[in-house]
Chains A and B, each alone.
Chain A
Amino acid sequence: EVQLLESGGGSVQPGGSLRLSCAASGFTFSSYAMTWVRQAPGQGLEWVSLISHSGENTYYADFVKGRFTISRDNSRDTLYLQMNNLSAEDTAVYYCAKGTGGNYGGRFDYWGQGTLVTVSS
C-alpha cells in the first residue's frame, strides 16, 4: 500500500523557516517524480514544486522561487521542502504527492494527508 506521511509543519513568525518532510512507502520511491502542492485555508490547490526521480531536476512556482528548496533522499525514501523567508501568504496545508512518471510525473496518483504551516506574528 502506498503511503505518504508529511511532517514538519507548525507555526512560525514571518521571515522564519521550516523544513517539511514526506516519508514514502509502498512503492519504489527512487523511480518517481515527487511534488509539493499547497492549499490555503478555504482556498483551492496550488502547485509549489517538483523534483525528478533522481533529484537532478527541480522546478518551482514563481511565488516560491528563491525561498523554497525541494530535495529528496532516495536512500531514505523521503522528500523535503525547505521553506525560508516565510510570509503570511505561505500559510497553507502542504501536501506531498507522487507523480506517475520519473522526470515530470505531472499527474498525482497518491497524496499525503497534509501538514499545516501557519505563518503569523
Chain B
Amino acid sequence: EIVLTQSPGTLSLSPGERATLSCRASQSVGSDYLAWYQQKPGQAPRLLIYGASSRATGIPDRFSGSGSGTDFTVTISRLEPEDFAVYYCQQHVDLPWTFGQGTKVEIK
C-alpha cells in the first residue's frame, strides 16, 4: 500500500498570504495519478487538482499543483476567505487508492 504523508498538519495563515502544502508518497506515483481535494466542514470533498498539476473544472487559477515521483505540492497564491479548509492528496496509481491524512488551512 502506498502511504501518503502530508505536511504540515495545520497551516495558520491570513487572507492574502501564500499557502504551500506538501504530499510525499512512500513510492513513486508518477505524475498522472496524484490528485488533490478540498473539503470544507460539513461538505463532501471537491476535486481541486488532478494529474499533479491540472486544475479541475471551476477551480480558480490561484491554485496550482506541481511535482512528480514521490513529492508533490499544491500552492494557493493568495488565500481567499473561502480557501480555509482541509486539503487531501490522493494516489490512484495502485490499489488500494490512498489518501494523505490532510492539511488544515486555518485563519491566523
Contact = CB atoms under 8 A, between A and B. Distances in A.
Contacts of A107: 33, 35, 47, 50, 90, 92
A47 interface: yes
A106 B33 contact: yes
Contacts of A113: 43-44
Main secondary structure, interface of B, reads loop
B100 A111 contact: no
Contacts, number: 53
A35 B47 CA distance: 14
Interface string A86-121: 000000000100001000101111011110000000
Contacts of A104: 92
A37 B92 CA distance: 13
A22 B46 CA distance: 17
A44 B88 contact: yes
Given A109-B47, A111-B45, A114-B44, A44 B35 contact: no
Contacts of A35: 97
B99 A44 contact: yes
B96 A45 contact: no
B96 A111 contact: no
Interface of A: 35, 37, 44-47, 50, 59, 61-62, 95, 100, 104, 106-109, 111-114
Given A44-B102, A107-B50, A109-B56, A50 B45 contact: no
B47 A95 contact: no
Given A44-B102, A111-B46, A59 B95 contact: yes
Contacts of A108: 35, 37, 45, 47
A44 B56 contact: no
